[in-house]
Amino acid sequence: MLNLGEVLTAMVTPFNSRLEVDYAKARELAVKLVDEGSDGLVVAGTTGESPTLSKEEKMKLLEAVVDAIGDRAVVVAGTGTNSTADSIAMTKAAAKVGAKAVMLVGPYYNKPPQEGLYQHFVAVARETDLPIVLYNVPGRTSVNILPETVARLARIPNVIAVKEASGSLDQVSEISRTTPPSFQVLSGDDSLTLPILAVGGRGVVSVASHVAGPAIKRMIKAFFAGRVAEARDLHLKLLPMFKACFVTTNPIPIKAALRLAGFDAGGCRLPLVEATSREVEAIAKAMSDLGLAVGTRAPKGT
């Protein structure tokens, strides 16, 4: 079974000044993240502004990242949509360009019942040999993939993990209790990573790791080495940064943070907008308090 690792970064999609995908910058960012300790990269996920990327852009972006990092890290393609047929097509396309796994978000907007969710994921799993990571984020999809549904899906050989962003430790605990030991539970919320590790989690699909990857990796390593007090202290130190990354809709803050850190990944496509000056100030303070270098070229604010 594919080991996804402890820190996967949900990678932003760099844009140029015309808000076109900057594939060269994406390659550069991918290498930077892996150099800083990311075990994997999630490409064209929510943080990568997948709702406003075309299918062609997603595949070209994925191809660029795969080419840039090779086998140094696991490249996970965000191929889930609220259309089962489209999810299957995207998954097959991702396999052709070298993805090592795919991440399938719960179908959004059409609000399927639990049986519909189960059948959706089963249908995709039957059409691919790639490992599948389920992505439960009810705050965006409006539907919660319940633990009993995750447990059913975990019996499918190529469904290997879940990114859990329900915000419920009870739910994560129930998933850990009812799925096989080999099934990988990943935190989908930076601020809940340490608590989730305590109830069976293996790691995190992180946003903050764009700027704080080494510290997040140290926290997870400390926990698994039994240095729980050290992990707790790192968690508490990182917490303001975790919160700042979600001071407004993701990925607006993390793109601002990257620019403050000296890596300009461009703006966001509408309907997302730039961080306001107040939001930028909050992000800069959190970065400074964490000891991260904050550049003099501030992100554009309103």
Domains along the chain with CATH numbers: 7-227 (3.20.20.70)
**Which pairs count as long-range contacts for 273-280, CB under 8 Å and 24+ apart, including other chains?**
273/302, 274/299, 274/300, 274/301, 274/302, 275/247, 275/248, 275/299, 275/301, 276/248, 276/301, 276/302, 277/301, 277/302, 279/247, 279/248, 279/252, 279/253, 280/256
Tell me the percentage of the chain whose pLDDT exceeds 70: 98
Give dist(CA 278, CA 21) in Å, integer: 27
The pLDDT tens digits of the residues spanning 20-59 come to 999 999 999 999 999 999 999 999 999 999 999 999 999 9
Give the residue numbers annotated as catalytic, written as ranges. Answer: 135, 163
162's torsion region: left (phi>0), alpha (psi -120 to 50) or beta? beta
Closest C-alpha among 119, 78, 76 to residue 101: 76
Give dist(CA 233, CA 218) in Å, integer: 11
The residue whose two tokens read 């890290």 is 73
pLDDT higher than threshold 50 for residue 299: no
pLDDT higher than threshold 50 for residue 301: no
The pLDDT tens digits of the residues spanning 97-132 come to 999 999 999 999 999 999 999 999 999 999 999 999
Maximum CA pair distance of the chain? Answer: 52
111's torsion region: left (phi>0), alpha (psi -120 to 50) or beta? left
